Amino acid sequence: MTEVLKISLPDGSVREMEAGATPADVAAAIGPGLAKAALAARVDGEVRDIGRPFDGDAELELITARNEADALELVRHDYAHVLAEAVQALWPGTQITFGPATDDGFYYDVMAPESREPFGMDDLPAIEEKMREIIKADKPLRREVWSREQLIEKWEGEGETFKAEWAKELPEDEELTVYWSGDDWLDMCRGPHLASTGKLDPQAFKLMRVAGAYWRGDQRNAQLTRIYGTGWLNKKQLKAHLHRLEEAAKRDHRKLGREMDLFHLQEEAHGSVFWHPQGYKIWRALEAYMRRRMDAAGYREVKTPQVMDARQWEQSGHWGKYRENMFVIPDEVPNTEDEGPLVSDDADWMALKPMNCPAHVLIFKQGITSYRDLPIRLGEMGCCHRNEPHGALHGILRVRQFTQDDAHIFCTEDQVVEEVRAFCKLVDTVYNDFGFDYQIKLALRPEKRFGSDAMWDKAEEELRQAVIDAGMASEDYGWEELPGEGAFYAPKLEWHLTDAIGRTWQIGTMQSDRVLPERLDASYIGEDGEKHRPVMLHRAIFGTFERFIGVLIEHFAGKLPLWIAPTQAVVATIVSDADDYARAVAEKLEAAGIRVEADLRNEKINYKVREHSHAKVPNLLVVGMREAEEGTVALRRLGSDEHQKVMAVDELVTMLAEEATPPDLR
């Protein structure tokens, strides 16, 4: 008697299928439209090939282009394999390594054959053409299970040294799979894949760039070429993505930073920002704003050392879990002679702080703290250093030296939910002041962590409940829980901002921590007269000033809100006879608190207008002899369709002073 499998569908119905049946068979049984649209299947929660037979009774969800996240992951994975196949078809002897899907596309790391130079941008058109040829051939993609020995023999026989090395290290008991593209090319891969290359849209991908990459990410290993591409479900999505990239390039904070003379970076200080006067005005405006918000919310500002002894970092757990990201310093006078090592083997070690939290615990521990003193909210505009790899640095968005709007709240168990709820409201106020939409995510326990499961259960539930109490655990706030994404010592809430062109940026955080107070022996005296551990809440709103300013520049395309614009107005003269009047207007504006400059250069007014528009000055005040005689100015607004507006000086000063008032002071 033929075995019958029961396949449960999302609508609650059950299909009976013969043993050996596949999700593709189920799709065909439902209807020809679904059979054509189905790309893959989720079988008992695992995404699988549409043509892979069921192992037994199963729950089935068919994946189509409507399941966009799953579908994009699949097609991008397939584009990566087609890329590798195309490169090897064009240049036999090319070694392939790995090629995953990424957030907006895919890449593959390859090594060119010895007969030619490493691959470059000039090779991309030929590779794209070959990829389209492979896609149009509609080659079936077929899964096979191989033994380690088969894989090693295959790769060594074809001179694929990287693949052979990897195959030798795979676990003995792991099921090893390869995927054939037709009958003439295969790659080692866990899958899943589409049914055939023809399921890809040949007009929905584009190869973008090449870069150097080391085998297994280790600079001691061979250097490979990483070929990046972007891949989508259809041509329309690709076109929209390329348009977003064009818009992002116009908004690039590095480009605008140069044009607006805000900051620069250079090799002599990798990952550290040289803030110019204009850029530092933005910083100071943000710092003053955040200081007022924190003062009003009951925070007490502190300042802690840059360098602390390694023993402190060992006690906190950072030395063991985080040392590769720390700058360590020998605690001895270096050798100044030409001979001998720079430092001795006996040197004690210190480290630049990568975060402020242990130092804040040390402040909390000074003296005796009563439960009546809690909560204690310690804030610091704290400069930190993290040893990020050079290749990971990106403008001022990812740096090595950064300053956080950091704070730590020490509270009792009973105060946690209310403190987190109040923080959610504070964050909402701040982000609304900048016009940002945002989403809240709860990052849950990672696999490697400190603390017991019971401790993590409690910490996660407290954060969850606080968001519920704040009325923000809903679709309106993009509420989502992220398994495995928490820090090693605590779960965390994350705030993801959405910018003007739809990109998301993870900025604010709140972490509920019971580990660090335990490790550093922090305590308070409870109502019962006994010592108790405080809960430590780690929180930031801007995240870092560097990153937040970079996001602001890109979000506003340099046209910053008036209250944080480095120069809020420029008084520009048409003729030199109006210089004295321009100075008088500038003085009135300055007296009203406006950041203003007078442009008295002997240049044509059209030149001045273009230059200050390029520098994103919000208000250009043009004055000539007529304005001087009438006590007026001609106002030109940056980006306004209105040519100009003539106003009395006092009226203008009142208007700009009101517009330039920070939102928390209005």
From the list 17, 13, 14, the residue with the least C-alpha distance to 5 is: 17
At 429, the amino acid letter reads: T
Q: How far apart are CA 161 and CA 168, in angstroms?
A: 11
- Characterise 119 by phi-psi region: left (phi > 0), alpha (psi -120 to 50), beta (else): beta
Catalytic residue among 377, 538, 555, 595: 538
Q: How far apart are CA 370 and CA 171, in angstroms?
A: 55
Catalytic residue among 130, 281, 357, 616: 357
DSSP-assigned letter for residue 183: T
Catalytic residue among 88, 404, 511, 568: 404
Catalytic residue among 25, 49, 201, 406: 406
Q: How far apart are CA 565 and CA 639, in angstroms?
A: 14
At 319, the amino acid letter reads: W
Q: Is 424 noted as a catalytic residue in this protein?
A: no
β-bridge pairing 437-443 and 480-482: parallel
The token duo for 42 is 């989720």
- The residue whose two tokens read 């290993």 is 221
- The residue whose two tokens read 């009792």 is 412
Catalytic residue among 130, 360, 377, 408: 408
From the list 77, 85, 130, the residue with the least C-alpha distance to 110 is: 85
* DSSP run (H or E) holding 210: strand 205-214
Q: Is 449 noted as a catalytic residue in this protein?
A: no
The token duo for 71 is 């579908």
The token duo for 373 is 């003193």
Q: Is 559 noted as a catalytic residue in this protein?
A: no
| CB distance 560 to 552 below 8 Å | yes
Buried/exposed code over 2-14 (b: 16+ C-beta within 10 A; e: otherwise) = eeebebeeeeeee
Catalytic residue among 492, 555, 616, 636: 492
Catalytic residue among 318, 386, 464, 636: 386
Q: Is 448 noted as a catalytic residue in this protein?
A: no
From the list 71, 45, 106, the residue with the least C-alpha distance to 228 is: 106
Backbone angles phi, psi at 10, to 5 degrees: -60, -25
Q: How far apart are CA 94 and CA 88, in angstroms?
A: 6
Q: Is 386 noted as a catalytic residue in this protein?
A: yes
Active-site residues: which are they? Answer: 357, 386, 404, 406, 408, 492, 538
